[in-house]
Amino acid sequence: MAEETLKTAAAPTEAEVAVETEKVEVAAESVEVEAKAAEAPAAEEEKEKISESTSFKEESNVAGELPDPQKKALDDLKALVQEALNKHEFTAPPKPVKEEKKETPAVAEEEKKESPAAVEEEKKETPAVSEEEKKETPEVKVESTPPATEECKEEEKSVPPPAEEVIIEKTETSVDEDGAKKIEAIEETVVAVVSEPPAKTEEPEQPPVQETESEAPPEEVSIWGIPLLADERSDVVLLKFLRARDFKVKEALAMLKNVVAWRKEFGIDSLLDEDLGSEQEKVVYMHGVDKEGHPVCYNAYGEYQNKELYNETFSTEEKRTKNLRWRIQFLEKAIRKLDFSPNGVCTILQVIDFKNSPGPFKWELRQATNQALQLFQDNYPEFVAKQVFINVPFLYLAFYKVINPFFTQRTKSKFVFAGPSKTAETLFKYVAPELVPVQYGGLSREGQQEFTSGDSVTEDIIKPATKHTIDFPVTETCTLAWEARVVGYEVTYGAEFVPTAADGYTVIVQKSRKITATTDEPVISGSFKCGEPGKVVLTFDNQTSKKKKVLYRSKVKVSSD
């Protein structure tokens, strides 16, 4: 009856099973709810990071202005970088350290294997010695062995001691004095053997190499002339790697290590002093700054229409390698001129001109360009403020529309595309007209002495089918110089001097002439020596149905006579 009651008490009913299953399901649902609740803030943080990274404005490099997640990521990365510098992980690979760790347990295992073998050998030796001693002392055999074996059996059943201890206990049961003396000698040998393994096990625990490495001073690593951990400029550099990896600290550290290794392997420091020629200076060159102070780099691939230049650049593997090294050298020198302070300018505006480009069918050019872009992407993170593609053919625009959904919002925010008719207008959004090269619709020309980049430009709109005049007043005897440019061409231009005096005569300075896209000199320039007060009037006659934009500036030079 007692057993039946126990069985019935232990067996759960169907109702109890149902209740327990409901409890388990409720608990599982609560766990899922808690997991989702825990994931929700993480997802919100990721959304916040993404929304922050998709800003169309360049992010701040001031540590105090960063959002809390980004600030924490920067602090974590700095801690990991400091640890890596202490361990010399930027110059020495971590693999040898891992191999040493694997070898130490192997040595310990071998020593462990050797110790029982030695004990077994000693076990075999001890009975041999005892037999010889027993032969010499027959009285000890008869009197001492029977009680010793019975006591040992009882002790072995109760508490099984180690092999060495068993031998010692057997020897202690002997009666004869001579036997005891001999047994004591055996005990000494056993103890000596047992004491050897600890001495061996202590050997692998000494890591003299690691202690010396930990005591060594941290290594010093610099990128683009800036130490990794020095001041606020170092924070700007680390933020570039964090942004390139969406503020994932471990991935940013891995990228940083890879970049340091690549720079050492590629020989960047010695590359800066190499003489790689000047043939590519017409293709890639720096010219002025944009409205936010970023240096502007122009890439004119149309220069490769020159067969001689093309063959000199891409005809052999050696020449393609030289061109790649020139491109990296050019970029390195441009980066060294940037201001890496938190409020400084540390990015570049890239302008890529597709006008007269050889096109995608030139596999040498395509291969070299892809290789250069891959190296720039992997080893120069976040150095491009904008990429403005100008004179883009229709096929390129159509292709971009197809692949546009595959780009992240952050990437798309840095891309700007403009066809031939919108090139100048697009550049003027980012670069002041006085700093845009004349071949791209601006007023910046080589070798000009009259005007400089500091002379600002004024913009006016010429309405369709109207005449537009620009006046330059003068109040004394002087020489007036001016220059102007019409974006879109197809206008008629003329200039004259109108004196203030009513009885004065109007002087024609420039007869009316038509300005077209085929005009040799797109910039209209002139000067006039005024002998009396008056004004110089520029007249632009737009007979087309499209509005035009005119850019102009003037300068007065007072004569010393």
Cα–Cα distance, 370 to 382 (Å, whole number): 18
Q: What is the pLDDT of residue 215?
A: 64
CATH topology of domain 455-558: Jelly Rolls (2.60.120)
Cα–Cα distance, 237 to 380 (Å, whole number): 10
Cα–Cα distance, 62 to 346 (Å, whole number): 13
Q: What is the pLDDT of residue 520?
A: 65
pLDDT (tens digit, 9 = 90+) per residue, 91-136?
765 444 344 444 444 444 444 444 444 445 444 444 444 444 444 4
335, two tokens? 């980066």
pTM above 0.85, yes or no: no
Q: What is the mean pLDDT of each run of 10 residues along the chain (561 residues)?
A: 38 38 40 39 38 53 91 95 91 50 44 46 46 44 44 47 44 46 45 47 50 66 92 94 94 96 93 91 94 95 91 91 94 94 94 85 80 91 93 78 72 86 92 93 82 88 94 90 88 94 90 81 88 93 91 84 54
Q: What is the pLDDT of residue 125?
A: 46
DSSP, res 444: B
Cα–Cα distance, 322 to 208 (Å, whole number): 47
Q: What is the pLDDT of residue 106?
A: 45
Please report, as a single letter, which amino acid is at residue 192.
Answer: A
Pairing of strands 548-558, 478-487: antiparallel
Q: How many CA atoms lie within 13 A of 489 on its CB side?
A: 12
pLDDT (tens digit, 9 = 90+) per residue, 157-213?
444 444 444 444 444 444 444 444 444 444 444 444 444 444 444 555 555 544 444
Q: What is the pLDDT of residue 57?
A: 66
Q: What is the pLDDT of residue 217?
A: 85
Domain residue limits, the chain: 1-53, 96-209, 267-431, 455-558
- CATH number attached to the domain at 267-431: 3.40.525.10
> Exposed, middle or buried: residue 318 (CB in 10 Å: 0-12, 13-18, 19+)?
exposed
pLDDT (tens digit, 9 = 90+) per residue, 511-524?
999 888 776 678 88
Q: Which of 414, 411, 436, 413 is nearest to 425 (CA)?
A: 436
Please report, as a single letter, which amino acid is at residue 20.
Answer: E
**Which residues, 6+ apart, have CB-to-CB distance to 231 below 8 Å?**
none
